[in-house]
Structure 1
Amino acid sequence: MMRRTTLLTGCTALALALGATACGGGPVTPAGGGDKALAGQTVTVAGVWTGSEQKNFQKVLDAFSAKTGAKTQFVSTGDNVSTVVGSKIEGGNAPDVVMVPQVGVLQQFAQKGWLQPLSTTARQTIGADFASVWKNYGSVDGTLYGLYFKAAHKSTVWYSPDALAQAGVEPPKTYDEMLKAGHTVSDSGLAAFAVAGQDGWTLTDWFENIYLSQAGPEKYDALAAHKLKWTDASVVKALTTLGKLFKDKQLIAGGQKEALNTDFPGSVEKVFGPEPKAGMVYEGDFVAGVAHDQFGRTIGQDANFFAFPAVDGGSAPVVSGGDAAVVLKDGKNAKAGMKLLEYLATPEAAAVWAKAGGFLSPNKKLDLASYGDDVTRATAKSLVAAGDSVRFDMSDQAPAAFGGTKGAGEWKLLQDFLGDPSDPKATADRLEAAAAKAYQG
């Protein structure tokens, strides 16, 4: 899913926040057969990606085809991957591989008996080349079903250096400083933030960064597992903090109404497009891919980031996400699908998208030289070095009905909150009611 580094100071801040260490390349492990062993077979892959992400993933699939002789077909599911894949399975038209953007959906698929456990080759590669956190998130009841091919660093705020320079502000270190800097940017002629409220998942990411920093990792983990209710005072406090931004018409480009009609690519365009309307846009590292591919921005020069700042004296948050490849039992070509997954586990496959941009890999063996710019290289290095200390996107850990369905659950309730942030407690009550129902189901 679209969920994803800068003045050198911004890059350094992120690296320090994650405790960056060196990580190097390694030998390419042959996978999927190098002798055209899959010639004549077609592997169908379903995933949420569209636009530049779909285009760049197709380059990876093309490399697999060149290596194995297999043809590939990508089917975009839109955000409702759970519903679409379920319908395809029921209709006898299941894809072979699904790129699952949420831990909760992966768990749901496994519990329904839809998934094939990963092959010995895939398990060995993941065990050797990935931090254990990625193996844990890809497993259900001790069985490994998912390979996290694409990771996201979701604690980055992207900005136009020209906009901040014109306003005379530096990248902030705290949330309050960020809002203050936003007002200064607004006074100089641009809105502070472009907010992609049309896509509910972006709003969950805003909440998660605030909550992790403000409430701390233990409560974050408890809320993610619904061992802590959404009516807890810590949730109301985080919503109040987020609402302070949402209700400030000086900070959001076009105000709340326009934000609710702005999708993620549109929010990036408002900052990095030909007619800028805002100075900053919060989202993950994948903002860089859109800014470069669609709007010709040079990352590190006219598109930069700073780490999502600390809230109320807490630690700066480090939220991650990712897309896991799984193999469906009911796919017409599941064996070839497993060969694709084995290929995706290699640094060779990751290097294809790394070179194209807008991509981070959790694979420790991927040579950092594969990335096309220093900003992305530093982000990838710090994410890999963070190992098991990062926190996975909370909404992606929830059942899809609550954390991953367009027009429902957390996505819809936070969109409602963006439209009217006047009553954080009432929103917390609604979130708890929706969560209780989804987790019980």
Structure 2
Amino acid sequence: MPKFPDPRVTIAATLSLVLLTGGCAYLSGGGGSAGADPDSPECEPYKQWQDIGGTVSIYASIRDVEAERLERAWQKFVDCTGIKIQYEGSGEFEAQVQVKVDGGNAPDIAFFPQPGLLERFAKSGDLVAAPESVQKLAEEGWSEDWLDYATFDGELYGTPLGANFKSFVWYSPTFFSENGYEVPQTWDELIELSDTIADDGVKPWCVGFESGDATGWPGTDWIENVVLRENGPDVYDQWVNHDIPFNDSKIADAFDRADTILRNPDYVNGGFGNVQSIAITSFQEGGLPILDGQCAMYLMGSFYSAQWPEGTEVAEDGDVYAFNLPPINPDQGTPVMGGGEFVGAFSDRPEVVAVREYLATAEFANSRAAEGAWFSAHKGLDLDLLEVPTDRLGAEILRDPETVFRFDGSDLMPAEVGAGTFWRGMVNWINGEDTDATLDYIENSWSS
């Protein structure tokens, strides 16, 4: 999933910054002017990867502050092993990774936000299946459900990286408290709350679908969350696997339920304009009107915690916090829709395998978690490292046995649908296209 425009990269002064189309690239290595002493205690966790050397290129959609945190998270590995990492983050990852592969310029490693896109490259023969060492670490670190998303024809091609909790509704605890609003526990309560806020003269929802070449994906999150709550996990799976058509009546019902919020002029789009403003409001800016009371709620993933302006307190009694989009039927348990990235490789040089192995360890997961605004489904993740309260909340909900978790549906669908017609269809729909026409358009794009 694309995140945060206007790339900003911080690197050691001795390294060169190379600007590339659609993103930013840099080499991380040496920890500044010199690497760490490989025999020091701090390098003990990395001994197995020493004496390999080389440079590994990584391409992903992670940019800006998140990219800086990512670089710091693996810096100790780089310092202690001497393996340099050349990283490029792009807002056009989904389109440009295919261009790179077709042009013979594939990265060594890519972080795929969509398992459907990972599958495309696996089935085309471009990706390298996980070697035994990587597979062993993956099986130790993640549940079978997570690994299934990156397993095709019995071969594991990717390992999970970060996890995103994509059912969060962001809100201001201060605004709620001052107005006597309570966090809703059911969908009916959510609608009652929205009506009350609207009656009080505030738009209850702010929404943003714009995301460069990926415009529309926030709309798919809305539909996926509603399908899971409207019909349960079995129908959700049938829909994602195309066992029922995209224009099935059950999916139409979910669109109709989402319509009561997203295309309701009394509900949206606080701080930006009318319903049509949603298509041109960036998802990065979409939730910011919460801070000045122009809207009350914003459906967006857990990664949005990094988008709030510096100085914003993210806490249960702070400036902003989040709650899980409530169930329609309380007997369903706790429906959660999430996402994440998967590490896939286009080459199998020793240094590439070494980086794949490291990224599959609890050592990396905890190193990245310590940088903030991130969490993982890795079994070895230390929850005490999650300083952002919403990260801790998301990780705790994911571990709750009552949670009914499903991966982002559009990320599981074939890329031409999930990252293509579904995205475009949501833009057409929010701009006024009939629901049936939208569903037929997406269904007709899905190869049988």
What is the TM-score of this pair, normalised by structure 1? 0.84
Identify unmatched segments of 5+ residues in structure 2.
4-41
Q: Indicate which of 267, 284, 292 corresponds to 2:286.
A: 267
Q: Indicate which of 180, 188, 192 corresponds to 2:192.
A: 180
- Work out whether residues 268 and 290 of structure 1, in 8 Å CA contact, stay in contact via their aligned partners in 2: no
- The CA distance in 2 between the partners of 1:276 and 1:168, in whole Å, is 14
1:64 is the counterpart of 2:77:
yes
* Residue 385 to residue 244, structure 1, CA distance change in 2 (3 Å): closer
- The CA distance in 2 between the partners of 1:419 and 1:61, in whole Å, is 43
Provide the secondary structure at the position in 2 that maps to 1:135.
helix
1:118 is the counterpart of 2:134:
no
* Residue 324 to residue 30, structure 1, CA distance change in 2 (3 Å): farther
- Percent identical among aligned pairs is 27
* Residue 227 to residue 203, structure 1, CA distance change in 2 (3 Å): same
Provide the secondary structure at the position in 1 that maps to 2:125.
coil
Query: What letter is aligned with 1:420?
Result: G
Deviation sequence 1:159-182 (CA, Å, 0-9, x none):
111222233210112223213212
Partner residue in 1 for 2:398? 383
Partner residue in 1 for 2:423? 411
- The CA distance in 2 between the partners of 1:319 and 1:411, in whole Å, is 17
Q: Indicate which of 31, 36, 51 corresponds to 1:37.
A: 51
Partner residue in 1 for 2:339? 321
Provide the secondary structure at the position in 2 that maps to 1:318.
strand
- Work out whether residues 413 and 431 of structure 1, in 8 Å CA contact, stay in contact via their aligned partners in 2: yes
Query: What letter is aligned with 1:319?
Result: M
Give the drift of 1:389. Answer: 4.9
Q: Report runs of 4+ in structure 1 exceeding 4 Å deviation.
A: 28-36, 385-389
* Residue 381 to residue 246, structure 1, CA distance change in 2 (3 Å): closer
1:430 is the counterpart of 2:441:
yes
* Residue 91 to residue 427, structure 1, CA distance change in 2 (3 Å): closer
- The CA distance in 2 between the partners of 1:158 and 1:370, in whole Å, is 22
* Residue 29 to residue 284, structure 1, CA distance change in 2 (3 Å): farther
- The CA distance in 1 between the partners of 2:74 and 2:114, in whole Å, is 21
1:97 is the counterpart of 2:109:
yes
- Work out whether residues 196 and 259 of structure 1, in 8 Å CA contact, stay in contact via their aligned partners in 2: yes
Query: What letter is aligned with 2:385?
Result: S
Q: Indicate which of 282, 288, 292 corresponds to 2:299.
A: 282
* Residue 226 to residue 29, structure 1, CA distance change in 2 (3 Å): farther
Give the drift of 1:382. Answer: 3.0
Give the drift of 1:263. Answer: 1.5
* Residue 388 to residue 190, structure 1, CA distance change in 2 (3 Å): closer
Deviation sequence 1:364-421 (CA, Å, 0-9, x none):
11111111144422421332455995211110111111111xxx40011011111216
- The CA distance in 2 between the partners of 1:101 and 1:223, in whole Å, is 19
Deviation sequence 1:311-363 (CA, Å, 0-9, x none):
2666242112110011113xxx7432221111111111111221222212111
Provide the secondary structure at the position in 2 that maps to 1:148.
strand
* Residue 88 to residue 375, structure 1, CA distance change in 2 (3 Å): closer
Provide the secondary structure at the position in 1 that maps to 2:429.
helix
Query: What letter is aligned with 2:339?
Result: G
Provide the secondary structure at the position in 1 that maps to 2:302.
coil
Give the drift of 1:31. Answer: 6.8
Give the drift of 1:240. Answer: 0.6
Provide the secondary structure at the position in 1 that maps to 2:343.
strand
- Work out whether residues 141 and 362 of structure 2, in 8 Å CA contact, stay in contact via their aligned partners in 1: no
Give the drift of 1:296. Answer: 2.8
Instruction: Report matched runs for 1:37-186 at 5 Å.
Output: 37-39=51-53, 41-81=54-94, 83-186=95-198
Provide the secondary structure at the position in 2 that maps to 1:117.
coil
Give the drift of 1:48. Answer: 1.0
Q: Tell me the number of residue pairs that the alignment of Structure 1 and Structure 2 aligns.
A: 401
Provide the secondary structure at the position in 2 that maps to 1:390.
strand
Give the drift of 1:79. Answer: 4.2
Query: What letter is aligned with 1:271?
Result: I
**RMSD of aligned alpha carbons:** 2.4
- The CA distance in 2 between the partners of 1:314 and 1:183, in whole Å, is 24
- The CA distance in 2 between the partners of 1:336 and 1:374, in whole Å, is 36
* Residue 43 to residue 161, structure 1, CA distance change in 2 (3 Å): same
* Residue 337 to residue 189, structure 1, CA distance change in 2 (3 Å): farther
- Work out whether residues 190 and 279 of structure 1, in 8 Å CA contact, stay in contact via their aligned partners in 2: yes
1:343 is the counterpart of 2:362:
no
- The CA distance in 2 between the partners of 1:122 and 1:73, in whole Å, is 21
Provide the secondary structure at the position in 1 that maps to 2:74.
helix
* Residue 177 to residue 214, structure 1, CA distance change in 2 (3 Å): same
* Residue 189 to residue 54, structure 1, CA distance change in 2 (3 Å): farther
Specify which structure has the bigger relative contact order, considering alpha-carbon pairs within 8 angstroms and separated by 6 or more residues.
Answer: 1
Choose 1 or 2 for highest CA Rg: 2
Deviation sequence 1:198-220 (CA, Å, 0-9, x none):
13111111001111111111111
* Residue 29 to residue 325, structure 1, CA distance change in 2 (3 Å): farther
Give the drift of 1:106. Answer: 0.9
Partner residue in 2 for 1:241? 257
- Work out whether residues 131 and 387 of structure 1, in 8 Å CA contact, stay in contact via their aligned partners in 2: no
Provide the secondary structure at the position in 2 that maps to 1:114.
coil
- The CA distance in 2 between the partners of 1:372 and 1:37, in whole Å, is 35
Give the drift of 1:270. Answer: 2.4
Identify unmatched segments of 5+ residues in structure 1.
4-27
Deviation sequence 1:211-240 (CA, Å, 0-9, x none):
111111111101100110112110111111
